[in-house]
Amino acid sequence: MIRFIYNPKSGKIGKNKRLAPLLREFVAASQGTAELLATERPGHATELAAEAAERGYDRVVAVGGDGTLNETAQALLHTSTALGLIPCGSGNGLARHLHLPLGAEAALRLAVSDGAAVRVIDTGAANGKPFFNVMGLGLEAEVAWRFNQLKSRGLATYVRSAWSAFRARTPEVCTITGGYHRETLNIFLLCVANSDQWGNEARIAPGAQVDDGKLDLVAAAPRGLLGAAAFATRLFTGSVLRAPGVRHWRGTQFQIERARPGLIHTDGETHALGATIEITVVPASLRVLVPATEARGAAQVRGFALQL
């Protein structure tokens, strides 16, 4: 049995007039083996996914952006139910990292296909709040907060939000502890990544893998306009870790201490947390549907036939 969890307010869904009819057509033709449910409020995707996992559904497919992914995946941690993705967000970082199809029809074919495979990936937690792609604070959290207030989504909107946040942001001092290493830094952004990128191929942690049992922490020192432009360019060339003022750690847990409570984000959703943040990796905790080429030796799983 497969359950689609559809967020009508996610990123690009409103622009894709074909997606909702496509999902309804598939469900109608599935002879009772698939269902489509829309989210109605924050946290609803978690409730719907938890119910499906408890009922022993084979797959739950999140149809939306990174926020919908996060809510859905929370309920599937440490279960036998596999997460499928039809990415409709502005960045789709985890989907891009896993080389999932970004087009609606191709993503749907994969999510219901007998040819899909399962890749078991790590996840992260920040003071107990799960994240699956990235979490962050400083400029990252400020951009996420501003972006979430807007009705229009997309890369251009994100860039404008980042520019306004950059102009208003003041650096903060954080003490970072990871393993035997402890360092106090003046930062303008800090990211802890499970995958290699924020989204849109902006690689904040080149070389990161979702199944290596570790997380990548990247912290960047304050910089002026030219430095920020150079930093942004490096994100798309895979060289950000060589940028001046960038620190990089890879490990299983980190502690971040800042002067006062403030915002963080987990997969683009913001939260107010205390001054101390404990971040841990949760190894091999989520099953995700991927193309067979991304399965890393995992067996193919039984799925559903789809005719388009």
Nearest to 149 by CA among 158, 136, 138, 140: 158
Q: Which amino acid is at 179?
A: G
What pLDDT is stored for residue 299 in this prediction? 40
User: Per-domain residue ranges for the chain?
Assistant: 2-122+284-294, 129-283
229-240 burial: b if 16+ Cβ within 10 Å, else e: eebeebbeeeeb
* Residue 219 structure tokens: 């912290």
Q: How far apart are CA 174 and CA 192, in angstroms?
A: 14
Q: How far apart are CA 133 and CA 89, in angstroms?
A: 13
Q: How far apart are CA 121 and CA 193, in angstroms?
A: 13
Per-residue pLDDT at 216 exceeds 50: yes
Helices and strands (DSSP H and E) totals, the chain? 8, 16
Query: Sign of the C-alpha dihedral, residues 60, 144, 279, 43?
Result: negative
DSSP one-letter code for 299: P
Q: Which tens digit of pLDDT belongs to each residue from 129-165?
A: 999 999 999 887 777 756 665 565 555 565 666 656 6
Q: What dotted CATH number matches 129-283? A: 2.60.200.40
Q: Domain 2-122+284-294: state its class.
A: alpha beta
What pLDDT is stored for residue 163 in this prediction? 55
Vertex 39: Cα angle to 37 and 43 (nearest 5): 130
Q: Which tens digit of pLDDT belongs to each residue from 262-281?
A: 999 999 899 999 999 999 99
Q: Which tens digit of pLDDT belongs to each residue from 39-88?
A: 999 999 999 999 999 999 999 999 998 889 999 999 999 999 999 999 98
Per-residue pLDDT at 191 exceeds 80: yes
* pTM flag (> 0.85): yes
